[in-house]
Amino acid sequence: MTQYLSRLTLNRAAPAATLMPLLNPRASGQAADAHHRLIWSVFSDGKGRRRDFLWRHDGRDRFLVLSGRRPRLSELFEAPETKVFDPELRAGDRLQFTLRANATKDRAAVSRMERDDRRGKSRRVDLVMDLMRAAPDGAKRAEIRSVMAQTAAEAWMARQGAAKGFAPRSTVVEGYSTIELGRRRREGATFGILDLRGEIEVTDPGAFLAALGAGLGRAKAWGCGLMLIRRAR
């Protein structure tokens, strides 16, 4: 299936400029929700349409999108810059990557309340938050969070690679943040975001390309999961 990589830039000319506080708010949770709706506006073509694109906010006015269809023209954006995304990859290829990821794992519900609420199902937990909960009392959380984030990221990337056709050679955490979407009664309303870069080696080109199109990790609707790649030098 053909994939397209697009750069979408918000149109700051009138009349779209008057909507900027709504389209691109400063608060992270509000921005994630607004951007989610904004990107959908150029791909939705009916009530039954399912999401077939990944996106990330790439600066104040720009978004990068990987999609199975070309984005539609919209007055909210400048004309899209779009190209076919069809990299030729072989096993052993080394690639540099950047990735904004919601790294989670499933953990069995342990408390009686959790078992009653979830009927014995596992619950999804953010890897960094989970490690931070286990930090010793009195620890300087700001100082250890970067260590926890690096540990979580390396373990998560190793698991992703084993299942999706690549082997991580280096993983660097450039930042970790949390977003509150404002839906306090909804599971997953607060989630963590890891901004990663590094180098990977392709082990199974077919599986890896499929994973790129499907996205890595969760919270894809909110701007996570799009891995950007280029040849390692």
**Residues 109, 123: contact at Cβ < 8 Å?**
yes
Architecture of domain 94-231: 2-Layer Sandwich (3.30)
Residue with tokens 């720009």: 62
CA 87 – CA 195 distance, rounded (Å): 23
> Percentage of residues in the chain with pLDDT exceeding 90?
54
Give residue 109's pLDDT: 45
Give residue 130's pLDDT: 75
Give residue 119's pLDDT: 52
Q: Which long-range contacts (CB under 8 A, 24 or more apart) does 217-220 make?
A: 217/101, 217/102, 217/103, 217/104, 217/156, 217/160, 218/102, 218/104, 218/124, 218/188, 218/191, 219/102, 219/188, 219/191, 219/193, 220/51, 220/54
Q: 158 or 144, which is more confident?
A: 158
SS3 155: helix
Which residues are CB-contacts of 129 (< 8 A; sequence separation ≥ 6)?
178, 192
**Res. 123 pLDDT band, cuts 50 70 90:** low
Per-residue pLDDT reduced to its tens digit, 12-23: 886 767 777 777
Question: Is a pLDDT exceeding 80 seen at residue 188?
Answer: no
Kindly report, as residue ranges, where domains of CATH 3.30.70.1210 are found in the chain.
Answer: 94-231
Per-residue pLDDT reduced to its tens digit, 35-84: 999 999 999 877 778 899 999 998 778 999 999 999 999 989 999 999 99
SS3 78: coil
CA 38 – CA 182 distance, rounded (Å): 18
Q: Mean per-residue pLDDT for 177-202?
A: 79
Give residue 141's pLDDT: 64
Give residue 18's pLDDT: 76
Tokens standing for residue 134: 């286990």
Give residue 187's pLDDT: 46
CA 98 – CA 96 distance, rounded (Å): 7
Which residues are CB-contacts of 115 (< 8 A; sequence separation ≥ 6)?
109
Q: Please classify residue 190 by burial: count the beta carbons closer than 10 Å to its beta carbon, then call 0-12 exposed, 13-18 middle and 19+ buried.
A: middle
**CATH among 2.40.160, 3.40.50, 3.30.70, 1.10.1240 for 3-85:** 3.30.70
Q: What is the pTM of this model?
A: 0.84
Give residue 179's pLDDT: 85
Q: 139 or 210, which is more confident?
A: 210
Q: Mean per-residue pLDDT for 2-28?
A: 82
Tokens standing for residue 230: 């280029």
Give residue 8's pLDDT: 96
CA 45 – CA 184 distance, rounded (Å): 30
Question: Is a pLDDT exceeding 80 seen at residue 25?
Answer: no
Q: Mean per-residue pLDDT for 144-153?
A: 87
